[in-house]
Structure 1
Amino acid sequence: MEARVWAPLPEVSSSRCSPASRPSCSSASAPSPAAGTPSSTTRPFLAAQAGGSPSTGPWLLTFWRGAASSPPQCSVLSLPLRARYKLPFGFLPAWDLWLVGSSGGLVCFSGFDGAGFRTVVCNPLTQTWRVLPDMHYNQQRQLVLAVDKKRRSFKVIAASDVYGDKTLPTEVYDSKENKWSVHQMMPAANLCSSKMAFCDSRLYLETLSPLGLMMYRVDAGNWEHIPAKFPRSLLDGYLVAGARTRLFLVGRIGLYSTLQSMRIWELDHGRTVWVEISRMPPKYFRALLRLSAERFECFGQDNLICFTSWNQGKGLLYDVDKKAWSWIAGCASQLCNSQICFYEPRFDTLIY
């Protein structure tokens, strides 16, 4: 590839996956041009981006903090290439940042600048970023980032409050208008979890009152209740967005510490019921959760679901279509200051 393509790109370092290569934890700024041409080891990561097409994926992005005085660090792991690439994140403000999520090549953070909470959206490859305007109400909200590739824009949805304040309306940021709009207050009285799933322009949350799901239609700006009862003996559960309209529920089934198992259900939108589609094999379940009360995390992209737990040095990947389970070395969250999500590296996704 010609040097003129590489010249404006930031430097990206890479390494093959090994225990040593993973982290010890598992107004806008212009990009900083890097001198020279990236080495051949970075080309598998960058080559597909010049034309705007997604690179060899899927990818996992890990964001973690080092010492108090050091900037946050970020790396991406290509599952097919089995290679990890370190992305420079020194271009972001030196705030206390927390990863919100990723969509269509952009990454969203919530941060504290010393005076208040701010929302930052960036493209790590081009090192461009934007601080969003203040919301109309409390800034400490549960956020979801959604990129619209057709409109070449993105939205950030602020749903529930981190402290459970039920009086706040839903707010939506539109990058085309560069402002937040205020919408209907979520009517749910009691949420099961702050975890949310976004698919097919709809945002889903688990609720106990009313029992089932709350669904927010971004295009209409209103909430609807879906009376989908949870499976019996569900100890904990995560909503995971699949491809297109598919919505999964992942959780442990069992009584106290005995006879536990991990299962995956898919929402039947027509019948409004959860249908079991898979069970984690016992050998994977015992290896992932050594203690019965151990906490796990899971997240998804398309029809892939990734599991991590507190003490693991690897993650577990499930392919819903292929019905295949496999371990991923070096992507687990070993410390509370490390966060992971799926990521689609793209140069053509703009923040303006």
Structure 2
Amino acid sequence: MDCIGTSSESGSRMYTSESTKNAGFHEDDRCVDQVSPPRGGGSRNTSPLGRVGSRNTSPSRQKVVKTKPRGLDEETLATFGKAIHADVHMEDNIWAMLPEDLLQEILARVPPFMIFRLRPVCKRWNSLLQDNSFLKFHSQVPSHGPCLLTFWKNPQTPQCSVFSLPLKSWYRIPFTFLPQWAFWLVGSSGGLVCFSGLDGITFKTLVCNPLTQTWRTLPSMHYNQQRQLIMVVDRMDRSFKVIATSDLYGDRSLPTEVYDSKLNSWSLHQIMPAVNLCSSKMAYCDSRLYLETLSPLGLMMYCLDTGYWEHIPAKFPRSLLDGYLVAGTQKRLFLVGRIGLYSTLQSMRIWELDHAKITWVEISRMPPKYFRALLRLSAERFECFGQDNLICFTSWNQGKGLLYDVDKKVWSWIGGCALQSYNSQM
């Protein structure tokens, strides 16, 4: 799953993804049969119409006014609530007699997050859907479309759900196979999800495949402590890498380390020549890793091919309150953030890096009605993450996310998920 997102022990992380692919891990598979859409969270009605005075109390004179949450227009509500596929009766005697090769062709085109719902159908399907040859074949079939993956962990059990943008539906994926210490979501790419955590006093990192319910603990780093991590997957090479930059809290200058799944080891590289990072937010684009930094001002770029850091003196827009780097397609790098000095003058904007002129060029602004609905308070915290020119916004304690399609220039709501999030990273 090429993903975008956020994580929390009691909150969630959301990611945009394409599909879950086979990782080829060697841990024992565990199958959880029940997969169902989670219950959606509603939004409070903050319309001024709900605070009208009550002097006119006559039932015959009362006027009933239907309201909706701010930012949700009629077109968005109609689109989100529209049924995509009607139930179709399927003849048991026909589907039970399908040849094996034809059955594989059909099941390989099922969205990966729905495979868990198909395993309990019969023993034949359960065996087929866990077979390594079928999973490899499934990974070669074109994706059904982008998805959003959310993960949150409460004291009882981890939860994971996937929202299909084409189907406009939520699907739950069992995540109980992970060890208890894996509670920081690092990121997701190519169908794999990376977690880190403290097992006692030892810092550990693992990579798992939600489809096969398998996971692998990575070897210890040379400087094994909490680091800023990001994972990238090479689909053609069927391998992945995990990049560890500076110390998580920025009080030590540590060499950059890169884990290669083909070598199953970490290699040491150059120390990042920056002393003051803006945040732990990172974006991986075109084999390059980007971070915001204040000293030196601009961006730090790490080239995975050479193993060296380079400073890009791209000045941040004026009055930028908070910014997130988001990777797009075709070498596109976006900066998303709030602009303004006072609460009444704030706005959310999106810039794109002009690599030739080394400047940020504004490409879009969030419409005021969406901005007011997303951030009810001027100082309210928000998260932003993206992939494939899709940018998703969430804010603290909101039951919905806001999605922006850079190519189509369209804003839309993604509802029905609890998005209390922090410590997000792409």
The TM tier, using the shorter chain, reads 0.7 to 0.9
Whether 1:50 and 2:141 are equivalent positions in the alignment is no
Structure with more of its chain in strand, by fraction = 1
Return the structure number with greater helix share.
2
2:162 to 76, 80, 95: 76
**Where does 1:191-270 land on structure 2 (aligned, <5 Å)?**
191-270=277-356
CA apart distance, 1:189: 1.5
* 1:285 to 2:371 alignment: yes
What is the SS of the residue equivalent to 1:107?
A: strand
Deviations 1:177-224 (A, max 9, x none): 000000000001111111000011100000111110000000000000
For 1:278 and 1:335, the matched residues in 2 are separated by 25
Match of 1:64 in 2: 152
Backbone CA RMSD of aligned residues: 2.7
Question: Retained in 1: the 8 A contact 2:277–2:294?
Answer: yes
Please state whether the residue corresponding to 2:346 is helix, strand or coil: strand
Shift in Å at residue 50 of structure 1? 2.4
Question: Which ranges of structure 1 fall in alignment gaps of 5 or more residues?
Answer: 1-7, 22-31, 343-352
Structure 1 residues 188 and 235: CA distance shift in structure 2, 3 A:
same
Is contact 1:17-1:82 (8 Å) kept? no
C-alpha distance 14-341 of structure 1, shift in aligned 2 (>3 A): farther
The structure-2 alpha-carbon separation of the partners of 1:340 and 1:164, relative to structure 1 and needing over 3 Å to count, comes to closer
Q: Which runs of at least 4 in structure 1 moved beyond 3 Å after TM superposition?
A: 8-18, 34-39, 46-49, 339-342
Alpha-carbon distance change, 49 to 287 in structure 1, aligned in 2, over 3 angstroms: farther
Aligned equivalent of 1:19, options 40, 60, 66: 40
Equivalent AA in structure 1 for residue 397 of structure 2: N
The verdict on how the C-alpha distance between 1:51 and 1:104 changes in structure 2, with shifts beyond 3 A counting, is: closer
Say which SS state the counterpart of residue 340 (structure 2) adopts: strand
Cα distance between partner residues in 2 of 1:227 and 1:136: 31
Q: 2:222 aligns with which of 118, 136, 149?
A: 136
**Secondary structure of the corresponding residue to residue 180 of structure 2:** coil
Q: Equivalent residue of 2:183, what SS?
A: strand
CA distance in 1, matches of 2:425, 2:416: 13
The amino acid of 1:221's aligned partner reads G
Aligned residues of 1:12 and 1:85 also touching (Cα < 8 A): no
CA distance in structure 2 between the partners assigned to 1:306 and 1:285 by the alignment = 13
Pair 331,340 (structure 1): closer, same or farther in 2 beyond 3 Å = farther
Structure 2 segments unaligned to the other structure (5+ residues): 1-28, 43-115
Shift of 1:236: 0.6
2:250 is equivalent to residue 164 of structure 1: yes
Deviation at 1:162, TM superposition (A): 1.0
* Alignment correspondent of 1:27: none
- Corresponding residue pairs, total: 316
- Identity of paired residues, percent? 72
**Once the 2 structures are TM-superposed, how far is the Cα of residue 335 of structure 1 from its aligned partner?**
5.8
How does the TM-score come out when normalised to structure 2?
A: 0.69
DSSP-derived class of the 2:372 partner: helix
**Per-residue CA distance 1:46-86 (angstroms, 9 max, x = gap):** 999725335322111111113x2x23121111121122111
SS of equivalent residue, structure 1 residue 94:
coil
Larger Rg: 2
